[in-house]
Amino acid sequence: MDFLGILSSTASFILDPTTMAYALAGLGLAIHFGFAGLLNMGMAGFMALGAYGYAIGILTFGLPWYLAAFVGIGASIVFALLLGIPTLRLRGDYLAIVTIAAAEIIRLLLLTAVFADVTGSADGLTGFNGAGGTVTNPTPGAGGFNDANPIPGGEYGFEPFLDNERTWFVRIVGMLILAGATFAVWRLVHSPWGRVIKGIREDEDAVRSLGKNVFAYKMQALVIGGVLGALGGLLLAFSTNVNSSVFVTSLTFFIWTALLLGGAATVFGPLVGSVIFWTLQAFLGLVFPALAKAGLLPFSGIQAAQIRFIIVGVILVLLVIFRPQGIFGNKKELTFVK
């Protein structure tokens, strides 16, 4: 068993654009659920809009990549407004039901063959990142994200982070977006605005009775979280092709797990939670097949890889029971029964 190889592959996930994308979406969910108390179960929908908005902006409308990025972000804002207007006046659980359904509607619209010209249907979209195409699917093109790469061609870094200039460009852009978003969220939740949305999480009628426009605040929180989700989707699209099979409901639940692991009402929780969650996923996904291959587990390699989902499920259950505030959460918050 190549244990070092497994560790190295696992470590590469720490700087993977996918991990950063999930961290961004987790940050959005922290705004939604951790600070404003909005039960958004449709984060995958926001991410899909970010990714597809970007890809469609380039492929169908022929926009430069940076303008196409705004198409993705704009789509997520419209989506948040559409979801929020009918549901934010209702009790929180209704938002959960509506968002989970709306995210599925988005995914099915992207999957259906009716719009195959635009969405690529089940094949998804490829070759929108310009010269050299996407990292995983090199297709010639021009004027895309990859053409904006100022890094000269070649391999950089050290194992396990030894990669070519394209991957590094996505990583650096991802880290910049993540750092900017984290700083903005930190500022927001430590401001009077953050105080109001935390108050709304606790009791919106009380906040209303103090003269705050609760609906407007909830809408702002929904839009900000949604935009962060779209940025996550955008980052995925920078690094690879887009496919509707990525933006399934289980993606939403993975992000929830990462969020709860780090701490819902924290700024750095989603970051650390995402890194731990995805490296753990990657590690278990590699180590179980290796164990099966070595004859230590009575499964085939593919079956063994699925065990990690069972283990992740168990971890989520244990986490919610024994440490609901997450790694970064305030222990004091647990002292009280709500």
Partner 1 sequence: MSSSSQPTTPTKSTGLHVGEIKPGVAKKDPILVADGVRRQFGGLVAVDVEHVEIPRNAITALIGPNGAGKTTFFNLLTGFDTPNEGKWSFNGKSLAGVSAFKVARMGLIRTFQLTKALALLTVMDNMKLGSTEQPGERLGASLFPFIWKKKDDEIEAQAIEILTRFKLDTKKDDFAASLSGGQRKLLEMARALMTKPELVMLDEPMAGVNPALTQSLLDHILNLKKEGMTVLFVEHDMHMVRHIADWVIVMAEGRVVAEGAPDEVMKNPAVIDAYLGSHQDTDLGTVTGRITLPTKGKDS
Residues within the interface to partner 1 (CB under 8 A): 184, 187-188, 191-196, 198-199, 201-203, 205-214, 220, 332-333, 335-336, 338
The answer to whether 26 touches 273, Cβ cutoff 8 Å, is yes
Q: How far apart are CA 3 and CA 124, in angstroms?
A: 35
CB of 214 to partner 1, least distance (A): 7
Cis upstream peptide for 324 (omega within 30°): no
Residue by residue, what is the 3-state secondary structure of 261-312? HHCCCCCCHHHHHHHHHHHHHHHHHHHHHHHHHCCCCCCCHHHHHHHHHHHH
266: left (phi over 0), alpha (psi -120 to 50) or beta: beta
CB of 229 to partner 1, least distance (A): 18
CB of 34 to partner 1, least distance (A): 11
Q: Which is nearer to partner 1, 201 or 308 (CB)?
A: 201
Q: Which is nearer to partner 1, 94 or 186 (CB)?
A: 186
CB of 257 to partner 1, least distance (A): 22
Q: Which is nearer to partner 1, 93 or 205 (CB)?
A: 205
CB of 220 to partner 1, least distance (A): 5
Question: Could you tell me what percentage of the chain is helix, strand and coil, using 3-state DSSP and rounding each to the nearest 5?
Answer: 70, 0, 25
The answer to whether 18 touches 278, Cβ cutoff 8 Å, is yes
Q: Which is nearer to partner 1, 30 or 246 (CB)?
A: 30
Q: Which is nearer to partner 1, 206 or 311 (CB)?
A: 206
CB of 209 to partner 1, least distance (A): 5
Calculated CA dihedral for residues 219, 221, 223, 227, nearest 10 degrees: 180
Give the type of residue at 185: V
Q: Which is nearer to partner 1, 58 or 178 (CB)?
A: 178
Q: Which residues pair with 156 in a beta bridge?
A: 163
